[in-house]
Amino acid sequence: MISIIIPVLNEATTIGALLTDISKKTSLENISEILLVDGGSEDETIHLATSFYKKLPLSILKSQKGRAKQMNMGAQHASGNILYFVHADTTLPKNFDAQLISQIENGFVAGCFRMKFDSNHPILKLSQWFTRFNVKSCRGGDQTLFISKSVFQKLNGFNESFIIYEDCEFTNRIYDQFNFVVMKDYVITSARRYKNNGTLKLQYHFTIIHIKKWLGASPKSLVAYYRKYIA
């Protein structure tokens, strides 16, 4: 059974579409629960989500702000043996649940889908092309992530000292110790951050963050850079 974990913070513009998407593209027989973990939303995120109580096995959890903290809390409350982490601005492929279960049955303990942006910008099209490769440097939280709960626990979950880059840090540890699969199907993610910050500018700064982490930068250094140039 799959526990879908969705960290949210002020996602009123996206959460309804995601929950509707889940209801249309999955067999609820495979879904243990959908855990919406809120980091302190001040908009209509929670109000909109509650309208899905009758349609979906949805629970809303309150957490401290921080995606790593929110996802860890979701994992702690999950009853499914497969954890599936999904960002709120994601569109999922049809029958995604069956695809995850199939990979677990084939012996993979973790994996993700390839990813496309909802944009035709050439820089983003190039970036999304790399998500087909099964290497550490091509991973990111926008691709979603499934992992067996037992392996998640062995890895002690997400490192909460990372305010940003928590998804890449975690998948790096998965790659170091376990098998990882990149599925052929795609999720679609919003390019809103690129539209708001400028595509070239944001892609440049994300590249610098990856390089800084590769060179050994601390979590505090990474978030300081992010807040200075992006946030």
Question: Maximum distance among all alpha carbons in the chain?
Answer: 49
Residue whose token pair is 């708001």: 196
Give the separation between CA 224 and CA 213, rounded to whole angstroms: 13
Instruction: Compute how many other C-beta atoms are within 10 angstroms of the C-beta atom of residue 127.
Output: 21
* Per-residue pLDDT, 176: 98
CA-to-CA distance for 36 and 129, rounded, in angstroms? 30
Beta bridge partners of 56: none
Say how far apart CA 192 and CA 181 lie, in whole Å: 27
Question: Is 51 exposed, middle or buried (CB count within 10 Å of its CB: 0-12, 13-18, 19+)?
Answer: exposed
Specify the DSSP element, H or E, that contains 187: strand 180-189
H helices then E strands: how many in the chain?
A: 10, 8
Residue 27 is predicted with a pLDDT of 87
Q: How high is the pLDDT of residue 191?
A: 95
H helices of 31-138, where?
Answer: 45-50, 67-77, 96-105, 122-129
SS3 content of the chain, % helix, strand, coil (to 5): 45, 20, 30
**Backbone region of residue 184 per phi and psi (left: phi > 0; alpha: psi in -120 to 50; beta: other values):** alpha
End-to-end alpha-carbon separation of the chain, Å? 37
- What pLDDT was estimated at residue 21? 98
Residue 111: CB atoms within 10 A of its CB come to 23
Q: Give residue 111's pLDDT.
A: 99
Domains and CATH numbers, the chain: 2-192 (3.90.550.10)
- What is the pLDDT tens value at each position of the chain, 231 positions in all? 999 999 999 999 999 999 999 999 998 999 999 999 999 999 999 999 999 999 999 999 999 999 999 999 999 999 999 999 999 999 999 999 999 999 999 999 999 999 999 999 999 999 999 999 999 999 999 999 999 999 999 999 999 999 999 999 999 999 999 999 999 999 999 999 999 999 999 999 999 998 998 899 999 999 999 999 987
79 in Cβ contact with 178 (< 8 Å): no
pLDDT score, position 81: 98
Which stretch of DSSP H or E encloses residue 154? helix 149-154
pTM of the predicted structure, to 2 decimals: 0.96
